[in-house]
Structure 1
Amino acid sequence: MKYNIVSYFFGEGFRNLLKNKKSTVSCLGVMCVTMLMFGLFYSIGKNINHMVKEIEAEQGMQVFIVTEATQDEIDEIGEKIRKINGVNQVTPVTQEDAYNQMKERLGDRQSLMEGLEPSIFKSSYLVTLTDLTLNSSVQNEINELENIDKITSSNETINNLSTIGRWIRIITGGILIILIIISVFIISNTIKLTVHARRKEISIMKYVGATNNFIRSPFIVEGIIIGLLSSIISVLLVSGLYSFVANKITMADFDLGVTVLGLGDLLTQIIVVYALLGMGIGIVGSSISMRKYLDV
């Protein structure tokens, strides 16, 4: 019995699509364009967030140790810093390393360092973070450790990156919400045409005792089919377009200093998001279009 009901719902859903070919095709076309834009903005947003994260991973602080500290004490400080929440990587910079770095910076003026010994420099640790918003709390915890001389940090750069990342998420999220609303409106109007054409049939079904869910189900199936078909077409279009653009950027002569996400990194996410989005938009759109005709 349940099988017959389900087959009836799907049969009616497909019949509605085929009966209104022009509106179905136009709806698919507009939906594909809308979802293509969704996919492009989604991909751009993911890549920008990825690039910001890569830049964030290079930002951090340099923790200088007092010159009186022994090597064991320096090593102990390094271990304690690694255990602090929010710390990503801890790289030791010895006095010898600091001395050589200064010589490299001076370039042709290395003669200025004649007579100087590595011992004039302080040992330090370069510390990167998992999340730049934890910069202040990590600094406070490090300052509580013994034998810390000072901490230098590009706080302005860190704050700017955090702000950029936050606004990118807000703008991308806003655009995606607008596109979802547009998609719901398109499917709702398309199914409304079918519902309007069958309004007398719906009234008779209501009169003989059919439940709202029974009447609504074929139209929900129609909305889901349109949503899923749009999703499948859009996934193919976005995948092809993204691969083309990503390859061009990767093979370009200029160096961005950051990497672009490969299609493999995004494809699973795009398929899942599109499938859920397609079904969700179909269900919501068809439900909205049915409300007027079920209130009889």
Structure 2
Amino acid sequence: MRYNVITYLLGEGIRNVFKNKKSTSASIIIMSLTMLIFGVFFVITQNINSIMKQIESEQGIEVFLYDISEDQTKALEDYIRNIDGINTVEYKSKEDALNQLKSQFKDREDLLSGYDENNIFPASYVVTLTDLTKNNEVKQKIDEYDKGKPDTEKVIKKITSSDETITTLINLANGIRIITGVILVILIIISIFIISNTIKLTVHARRKEISIMKYVGATNSFIRWPFIVEGIIIGIISGAISIIILGINYNLIANKILESQVVSAMSINLLTFADMFGLIVLVYTILGVGIGILGSCISMRRYLKV
């Protein structure tokens, strides 16, 4: 396609935007609101993924040990580290376990008096996972370490994990992701419908001109491209407006949430808008261009048949 043809098609698309000011403005306003709602659910999804990663780094499995030799302890650690899904493996000595209890009961130190000389608390390995859904699988693998050994040679005393908490978190996160995904698809369909109707008004107003162009030999692509450009411009402008509104409000709302007592107690960090900005711009650009093209093509099918 020659440069002057491309310039003409782009110019026609831009002129279409400004020629139909009322319908274009209405479409941009409605689509901006739609894409803003899309953005809200998108940042919610991103934060859910971030929070799940934070929880995965904290929730895990604790493997309590019998009083065993250093070689046996190291052998178990090497075994655990080679299990698929392991993030970190941290050794907690008997002294560490006692000190942890002392910090938890610092107002009642008398409860732990005498344990410094006779420490009954077992050493353990604290294991975190790369994926919480592998919790039961990893527990089973660790449990297999002592399988077939006589009681005198067993090294693992007990394995514990927050199974109910982990299951609840996984189900909650999956449920929110499914609901958010369905809402995002609905919003995309609505956006395509809005652009389609806007372009349809422009095409209808120029239907005689399009028919003449078809009869004198203009290709469908030549006729279609100005309207596609119009749709893309509407999509990109709507996306830009919604990003600005989302950016202005997101950090204010996120800071308010982080200041709440419940979230503060959970030690959860939310993503900043800057953390997500690049991804948001990329997603909105793809959406704006994609929705613009789809909406334009759908609206023009009828008028390109002569």
State the TM-score bracket (shorter-chain normalisation).
over 0.9
* Cα distance in 2, alignment partners of residues 32 and 102 from structure 1: 54
Local SS of the residue matching 2:301: helix
1:220 matched to which residue of 2? 228
Percent identity of equivalent pairs? 54
| Matched residue type, 2:185 | I
CA RMSD of aligned residues (A): 1.9
C-alpha spacing 1:77/1:15, structure 2 compared with 1 (3 Å): same
1:100 matched to which residue of 2? 99
| Matched residue type, 2:203 | V
User: Paired residue for 1:265, among 275, 294, 297?
Assistant: 275
Q: Once the 2 structures are TM-superposed, how far is the Cα of residue 101 of structure 1 from its aligned partner?
A: 3.1
Deviation string, structure 1 residues 33-53 (Cα, Å, up to 9, x no partner) = 111111112112222332233
Q: For 1:107-256, list aligned pairs within 5 A.
A: 107=106, 109-116=108-115, 117-146=117-146, 147-250=155-258, 252=259, 254=261, 255=264
- Identify which range, 193-202 or 96-105, moves more after superposition: 96-105
1:55 matched to which residue of 2? 55
2:149 matched to which residue of 1? none
- Does residue 71 of structure 2 align to residue 72 of structure 1? yes
| Matched residue type, 2:50 | H
Q: Give unmatched runs, 5+ long, in structure 2.
A: 147-154
Q: Give unmatched runs, 5+ long, in structure 1.
A: none
* Cα distance in 1, alignment partners of residues 37 and 121 from structure 2: 55
Verify the 8 A CA contact 1:86 1:131 in the aligned structure 2.
yes
Local SS of the residue matching 2:186: helix
| Matched residue type, 2:197 | N
- Identify which range, 90-99 or 168-177, moves more after superposition: 90-99
* Cα distance in 1, alignment partners of residues 106 and 283 from structure 2: 53
Aligned residues: 294
Q: Once the 2 structures are TM-superposed, how far is the Cα of residue 243 of structure 1 from its aligned partner?
A: 2.5
* Cα distance in 1, alignment partners of residues 269 and 107 from structure 2: 33
- Identify which range, 144-153 or 54-63, moves more after superposition: 144-153
* Cα distance in 1, alignment partners of residues 63 and 197 from structure 2: 62
- Does residue 90 of structure 2 align to residue 91 of structure 1? yes
2:300 matched to which residue of 1? 290
* Cα distance in 2, alignment partners of residues 223 and 130 from structure 1: 43
Provide the TM-score with structure 1 as the length reference: 0.93
| Matched residue type, 1:284 | L
C-alpha spacing 1:21/1:121, structure 2 compared with 1 (3 Å): same
C-alpha spacing 1:38/1:78, structure 2 compared with 1 (3 Å): same
C-alpha spacing 1:118/1:74, structure 2 compared with 1 (3 Å): farther
Deviation string, structure 1 residues 190-228 (Cα, Å, up to 9, x no partner) = 000000011111111221222212211111111001111
Local SS of the residue matching 2:302: helix
C-alpha spacing 1:115/1:18, structure 2 compared with 1 (3 Å): closer
Deviation string, structure 1 residues 61-81 (Cα, Å, up to 9, x no partner) = 1101222x2022212322332
Provide the TM-score with structure 2 as the length reference: 0.90
Q: Once the 2 structures are TM-superposed, how far is the Cα of residue 187 of structure 1 from its aligned partner?
A: 0.3
Verify the 8 A CA contact 1:189 1:289 in the aligned structure 2.
yes
* Cα distance in 2, alignment partners of residues 75 and 97 from structure 1: 17
Q: Once the 2 structures are TM-superposed, how far is the Cα of residue 253 of structure 1 from its aligned partner?
A: 6.3
Q: Once the 2 structures are TM-superposed, how far is the Cα of residue 159 of structure 1 from its aligned partner?
A: 0.8
| Matched residue type, 2:270 | V
| Matched residue type, 1:173 | G
* Cα distance in 1, alignment partners of residues 25 and 123 from structure 2: 69
| Matched residue type, 2:198 | T
